[in-house]
Amino acid sequence: MSVQTWTWILVGVTFALYFGIAIWARAGSTKEFYVAGGGVSPLANGMATAADWMSAASFISMAGIISFAGYDGSVYLMGWTGGYVLLALLLAPYLRKFGKFTVPDFIGDRYYSNTARTVAVICALIVSFTYVAGQMRGVGIVFSQFLQVDINIGVIIGMTVVLTFALLGGMKGITYTQVAQYCVLIFAFMVPAFFISMQMTGNIIPQIGMGGTVEGGEFLLDKLDKLHTELGFNEYTSGTKSTWDVFAITLALMTGTAGLPHVIVRFFTVPKVKDARKSAGYALFLIAILYTTAPAIAVFSRTNLIETVSNQQYSDIPVWFKNWENTGLIAWSDKNGDGKIQYVKGNALDGKKPIYTDARGLNGERMISNASEAKNELYVDRDIMVLANPEIANLPNWVIALVAAGGLAAALSTAAGLLLVISTSISHDLIKKQLKPDISDKGELTAARISIFVAILIAGYFGINPPGFVAAVVALAFGLAAASFFPAIILGIFDKRMNSQGAISGMVVGIVLMLFYMMKFKLNMFGGGTSEDWWFGTSPEGFGTIAMCVNIVISVVVSRLTSAPPQNVQDMVESIRIPSGAGEASTH
């Protein structure tokens, strides 16, 4: 069967499974809608958390960025895995003991202020919409290639799917669909990795295969370094980023992870604090399976791409290349007229994406109008590397289709979690807690569902008009979370003296500073700027670290210059740091 037929079958089966679970687990109360009734088992919650956590950025884009950035791409691995450890050990148990539905709920009650709650809602919306933009782009990429539809149509299909099971089940429906989605995405990620590792190195375990030898006895990484230097690139295993920027990006991703609302809320779905710790442990193990495999896939796909495409006649190029060319995610411009694809260092295009004309070149290639003067003739969108990898390696059609189903599972699971955060921030933290406290349970549930509907429309717009690659967009969301939520949460748990004035001041300054820097240096607003203009040599992806430090300093200084929190709040902070049963044990 063809790839497209296999894709329709596998995507159809998995979607039917998701819809069936959503209908079975539909929410009947606000508690079920927000936190799945608080009765999810640790293992199920661990799987759901892993699926929620491993978004399109992890599945589709992370290995793609590592395959192009080489050593520098390790910041994503260190930041995201380290951040989850930080969240699991430092924050999750305390937040679960506090027992609120959402992060704005925690901030509003901990800082005894509706103003703090409102600021937290605004921050949650900014972080979640930035994050969900990457997920919708991932959905569009998968549909555009494997179902042969326009990328915008792909985004719309994804919107419809997410909307259906988010509206029906809320957190309850999303939790159990995410359990199924984890199984699909991890299977889809690992199967081609096993195939390609065996094919290239003779070792079926990709983590070992990456450090193994290829035909001729040469180490795979040495071979890739040689291919890179021959084409004018830096060695794959050497870095170009400054030590400071690597540290800043890693720390921003770590602390951003610990401040992500859609991941934190998962720890409110289990019955007890002990279960929160268990589910965090399960999730960490399940996440590690994918994260330790991603560098291997990056090496395999990069090596295969260079050997398959570089210096090859376009007329002899494999079918997969021309299929992806039709999506606009890969492009070739014959600048020297020799009919060969020259892949060397330099930007092939003047813009970020190819602008195609209706004409065809002498070799049959799609003509692009924004080719640059650089010698490089090939443009490759980093987000296609994982999806195209099985095709480049000539794997069976069912494996190629399986990767498509896995990519959709990764993107849709996280998108659903983010949309729930958006809807609960509006219905629970804004309407129920502030605007209309006497709203009925049914009315609040209706408001949550209306919020999801509006949110999916906005998310779809960002998916059709994304500000960058999936992982790059998601990294900015982590920077925003680090700049706003992390200091307010960590100080709220461990500093009894932290008051509402300090938390509000810190969150406002942190998020505004990060937004300004992101818009100036990433979106080229406010006059734009190049890497030479970066403050302290810090990239937009790493600036969350600086904004977070500014937030902490302002929060602490303002809290010390203003009155202390009420005694009941200080007692509450003290109580959530004491493990259950500690008081009784100390009396005997």
Q: For residues 329 and 492, which has the higher predicted lDDT (pLDDT)?
A: 492
> Is the confidence at residue 418, as pLDDT, over 50?
yes
> Is the confidence at residue 261, as pLDDT, over 50?
yes
> Is the confidence at residue 170, as pLDDT, over 70?
no
Write down the pLDDT at residue 166. Answer: 64
For residue 37, name the pLDDT band (cuts at 50, 70, 90). Answer: very low
- Please spell the DSSP secondary structure of 412-476, one letter per residue: HHHHHHHHHHHHHIIIIIIIIIII-TT--HHHHHHHHHHHHHHHHHHHHHHHHS-SS-HHHHHHH
Portion of the chain with pLDDT greater than 90, in percent: 13
For residue 582, name the pLDDT band (cuts at 50, 70, 90). Answer: very low
- CB of 296 closer than 8 Å to CB of 211: no
Residue 501, both tokens: 């004035």
Average predicted confidence (pLDDT) for the chain = 81
Residue 361, both tokens: 């070149």
- DSSP lists the bridge partners of residue 213 as 219
pLDDT digits (tens, 9 = 90+) for 129-162: 777 777 777 777 777 766 667 777 878 877 787 7
> Is the confidence at residue 31, as pLDDT, over 80?
no
Range of 49-58, 110-119, 319-328 with top mean pLDDT: 110-119
Range of 298-307, 402-411, 442-451, 505-514 with top mean pLDDT: 505-514
Structural domains of the chain ordered from first start: 3-304+390-468 (1.20.1730.10)
Mean pLDDT over residues 7-36, rounded?
A: 69
DSSP state of 240: -
Q: For residues 262 and 565, which has the higher predicted lDDT (pLDDT)?
A: 565
Judged by DSSP in three states, 209 sits in: helix
pLDDT digits (tens, 9 = 90+) for 446-468: 887 788 788 888 878 877 776 55
For residue 275, name the pLDDT band (cuts at 50, 70, 90). Answer: confident
Mean pLDDT over residues 545-559, rounded?
A: 95
Residue 166, both tokens: 């988010």
Q: For residues 38 and 81, which has the higher predicted lDDT (pLDDT)?
A: 81
Write down the pLDDT at residue 409. Answer: 76
Write down the pLDDT at residue 39. Answer: 60
For residue 552, name the pLDDT band (cuts at 50, 70, 90). Answer: very high
Mean pLDDT over residues 560-588, rounded?
A: 72
pTM for the full predicted model: 0.80
Residue type, 274: K
- CB of 377 closer than 8 Å to CB of 353: no
> Is the confidence at residue 499, as pLDDT, over 80?
yes
DSSP state of 195: H
- CB of 402 closer than 8 Å to CB of 187: yes
Q: For residues 536 and 474, which has the higher predicted lDDT (pLDDT)?
A: 536
> Is the confidence at residue 588, as pLDDT, over 60?
no
Distance (Å) of CA 60 to CA 54, 436, 541: 10, 42, 18
Judged by DSSP in three states, 389 sits in: helix
pLDDT digits (tens, 9 = 90+) for 354-411: 787 777 777 777 788 888 888 888 888 887 888 888 888 888 888 888 888 888 777 7
> Is the confidence at residue 223, as pLDDT, over 60?
yes
Write down the pLDDT at residue 581. Answer: 46
